[in-house]
């Protein structure tokens, strides 16, 4: 194979449509835009506009509500806390706070706080201080002989 024998696959390239180049081209004079009107001019933005009729995106029903003040919590399961304690990444004897969970890598970002959920089992006696927790998580920690303090309870 030589350089002059190289070529694209058939259909890989298309020739550019050259408009406004005389009547012989088939796209001369008005360049296929018709006569006058908004669409014949440059700078037209008609997306979603239906000639004064109510546009489709406005006719369709809207659903749901998104609160601007909604808080989002970093979620941690009790099973993961126990796993980190077993792996010696967390110290069960000391007080486990949100910052401790962040340092050991159990939580990536605190967001509006850390919330503990009861998925998994906890066997270690731990003292947890976090923003929030589910009732079943509080019960599970107390059953294991530990204590779970929440900021919501302190308020």
Mean pLDDT of all residues in 91-118 = 90
The answer to whether position 7 is within a domain reads no
Please tell me the pTM assigned to this model.
0.56
Mean pLDDT of all residues in 89-99 = 87
Classify strands 132-133 and 114-117 as parallel, antiparallel or unpaired: parallel
Q: Residue 90 pLDDT more than 90? A: no
pLDDT in tens, 18-44: 999 999 989 999 999 999 988 888 888
The answer to whether position 24 is within a domain reads no
Answer for the pair 95, 89: CB distance below 8 angstroms, yes or no.
no
Mean pLDDT of all residues in 81-110 = 89
Cα gap 76→94, rounded to integer Å: 18
> How many domains does one find in the chain?
1
Answer for the pair 123, 144: CB distance below 8 angstroms, yes or no.
yes
Q: Residue 12 pLDDT more than 90? A: yes
Q: What are the two backbone dihedrals, phi and then psi, of residue 53, each rounded to the nearest 5 degrees?
A: -65, 150
CATH number of the domain that residue 122 is part of: 3.100.10.10
Residue 152's pLDDT band (boundaries 50, 70, 90)?
low
The answer to whether position 62 is within a domain reads no
Range of the domain at 123: 74-154
């Amino acid at each position: 194979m030589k350089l002059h024998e190289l070529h694209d696959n058939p259909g890989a390239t298309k020739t550019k449509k050259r408009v406004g180049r005389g009547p012989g081209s088939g796209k001369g004079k008005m360049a296929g835009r018709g006569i006058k009107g908004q669409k014949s001019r440059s700078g037209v933005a008609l997306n979603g506009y239906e000639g004064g009729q109510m546009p489709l995106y406005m006719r369709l029903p809207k659903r749901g509500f998104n609160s601007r003040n909604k808080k989002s919590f970093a979620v941690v399961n009790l099973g993961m806390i126990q796993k980190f304690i077993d792996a010696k990444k967390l110290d069960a004897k000391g007080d486990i706070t949100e910052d401790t969970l962040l340092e050991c890598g159990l939580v990536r970002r605190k967001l509006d706080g850390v919330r503990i959920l009861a998925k998994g089992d906890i066997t270690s006696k731990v003292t947890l201080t976090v923003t929030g927790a589910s009732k079943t998580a509080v019960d599970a920690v107390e059953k294991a002989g530990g204590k779970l303090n929440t900021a919501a309870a302190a308020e």
